[in-house]
Amino acid sequence: FIKDHIISPKNDVFSVGVVMIEIMTGPTGYSNSFEMGDLAQLRGQVIDNWKNKINATSKYPLEESNQMETCIDTAMRCVEPDRNSRPTIAEVLDILNKTETHIPKRQLADVVLCPTIGSKSTMSDTLKMMIDELENITNQNQHLSSMSNKSSNVRETTSDVEEEVVIGRTEEIKEIVDTICESITPENKITILPIYGIGGIGKTTLAQLVFSDCRFAGYSRVWVYVSQNLDLNKIGNSIISQLSEESHLAEKQMIHNKLRNVLAGKKTLIVLDDVWEENPDTLNSLKAMVRLGAGSEITIIVTTRDEAIAREICHAVEPYKLGTLTDKICWGIIRQKAALEERVDKEQLEQIGREIAIKCGGVALAAQSLVYILRYMSSDQWESVRDSCIWNLSTQKDPSSRIHNVLASLLLSYSHMPDWLKLCFSYCAIFPKGHCIVKYDLIHQWIALGFTEQSYMFDPMQLCENYARQLLGMSFLEYSKTSSLRWLQLISILEWIL
């Protein structure tokens, strides 16, 4: 930071101090401190501004004032000119952990955060507006909850989400793998096979199954999540980082040179998941970029919703259109994942479940999103799902579009969420499309905003862990496919809607 005035993503304690100061003063707080002469003046101004706000609004002024002073003092130590006088990252974390208070979490959400020095609006105003807006979202959807009974309580839904069981795509996997293997000849060493179809139909799942097929055991394998913003440099760096130890090259020519080296003389399977780019020039540049390896054999699988994109980017083979599942297979997903065989009322539920499966329109995501709530519902509640007017609302605009079946099933799942889970999910809409977030960072944000229910059995962290599991189980969130860490993101169809 001292050299370039750029906050470092590494464990740089000086940058940590700058970030803490900017959290407490606003984005220009640290820069403004140079005009004051020294940081001591900034510290005094921060404390005065905070104390005025805390005394005027807080039920716990003494405890919060002590917490605030500890934070600003720690930040000041981090930006000491003498490197040896600065604390370590571990010491900073230890100090901040010790500042945790016994203030109820909902009260913390209402506490005024740092007023921006010299600014008319404050971060607290923004946070309060966000809370009000999210609560409005819940209030506006109360009528959806009234269409059906309340969902099961938190204790009934604490089991981990089971590993995905793929039903009904065996023939498609074989057909795609056979097509790829047959396309590789002495004359053709690159195959680009797009898989296209509507959102939620299972393109990504199918690509994952092909990706792990034993017939590609001798291949180097690369998975790149593309989403709506196709960035050639980002894609190139992602391929490079997965095939070598180098990454984050800035220059286009450097990326191409490195790709030529890492792809040369080897068999490589690359998946480009969720491509939205329609510009033919950009798509042709993408194809050219992955053809750079001399003596290489490259297979690329592209998933997209758009047939035009699929036809523009394909090479050596025709695009593969992924069709809908049969009603029987949709029922199989519901029956298996709802653990119907373990229920005493399974005979009564079977006919109702088959009728719900028909309404899913052959879309795997529609069936999967309902399973999590159906698992804990009585037969009467299954009937309320089957007979819900939401199914009719979803097809008013375009009865032939199966995307509405997905939207209807997601809306039904949303309508059965308790209010606090609706808030947690709605909050995710503030993130940009394609954004990934560490699960525990998201959980801490939910807690700080006071989105948890009242519980005498579980602490807020346990409750929010369960909320994340429920949203994963209902297919509203998914684990990022671009990181080995537990990063979360909205499923792509919800990014498209929100």
| DSSP codes joined into one string, 437-454 | EEHHHHHHHHHHTT-SPP
pLDDT value, residue 51: 74
In sequence order, what are the residues at sequence separation of 6 or more whose Cβ sits closer than 8 angstroms to the Cβ of residue 274? Answer: 204, 225, 226, 227, 303, 304, 492
For domain 170-321, give the CATH number. 3.40.50.300
What length is written for the chain? 498
Q: 89 is written with which tokens?
A: 């990252």
The residue written with tokens 């709605």 in the block is 426
Backbone angles phi, psi at 221, to 5 degrees: -120, 140
Alpha carbons 16 and 12: distance in angstroms, whole number: 6
Do 394 and 410 meet the contact criterion of CB atoms below 8 Å apart? no
Q: 119 Cβ partners below 8 Å, 6+ apart?
A: 26
Strands 320-321, 297-304: pairing is unpaired
- Would you state the pLDDT for residue 448? 87
Please report the pLDDT score of residue 22 as a whole number: 76
Q: Which two tokens stand for residue 310?
A: 């699929």
| Structure token pair of residue 455 | 């519980």
List the pLDDT tens digit at each of the 498 positions of the chain: 444 555 555 556 887 887 787 777 765 555 555 444 456 677 777 777 777 777 766 666 777 777 888 888 888 888 887 888 888 877 887 787 766 544 444 444 443 333 333 344 444 454 455 555 555 544 544 443 443 333 333 222 222 233 445 667 889 999 999 999 999 888 888 999 999 998 888 898 899 999 999 999 999 999 998 887 899 999 999 999 999 877 778 888 999 999 999 999 899 999 999 998 999 999 999 999 988 677 889 999 999 989 999 999 999 999 999 998 999 999 999 998 888 888 888 999 999 999 999 998 888 888 888 887 888 888 999 999 999 888 876 555 554 456 677 778 888 888 878 888 888 988 887 777 667 788 888 898 899 888 888 888 888 999 999 898 888 877 788 776 555 445 676 665 555 444
By three-state DSSP, how is residue 485 classified?
Answer: coil
pLDDT of residue 100: 58
What is the predicted pLDDT for the residue at 497? Answer: 47
Helix, strand or coil, per DSSP, at residue 304: strand
Task: List 213's β-bridge partners, or say none.
Answer: none
CA distance 381 to 362: 22
Joined together, the tokens standing for residue 297 give 């054999």
Structure tokens at 457: 């059995």
pLDDT for res 482: 56
Query: Which amino acid does the sequence have at 319?
Result: P
Query: What is d(CA 383, CA 380) in angstroms, rounded to the nearest whole number?
Result: 5
Beta strands in 291-386 (DSSP E): 297-304, 320-321
Quick one: pLDDT at residue 433?
Answer: 65
Q: Which two tokens stand for residue 20?
A: 């803490």
Q: What are phi and psi of 185, to 5 degrees?
A: -135, 170
Tokens 């005025």 correspond to 52
| Amino acid 108: pLDDT | 41
CA distances from 480 to 130, 258, 439, 443 (A): 26, 26, 10, 16
Q: Would strands 297-304 and 267-275 be described as parallel, antiparallel, or unpaired?
A: parallel
**CATH 3.40.50.300 domain position(s) in the chain:** 170-321
Q: Cβ contacts of residue 279 below 8 Å, gap of 6+?
A: none
* Structure tokens that stand for 193 in this block: 């096979």
Number of other CB atoms surrounding residue 394 within 10 Å:
24
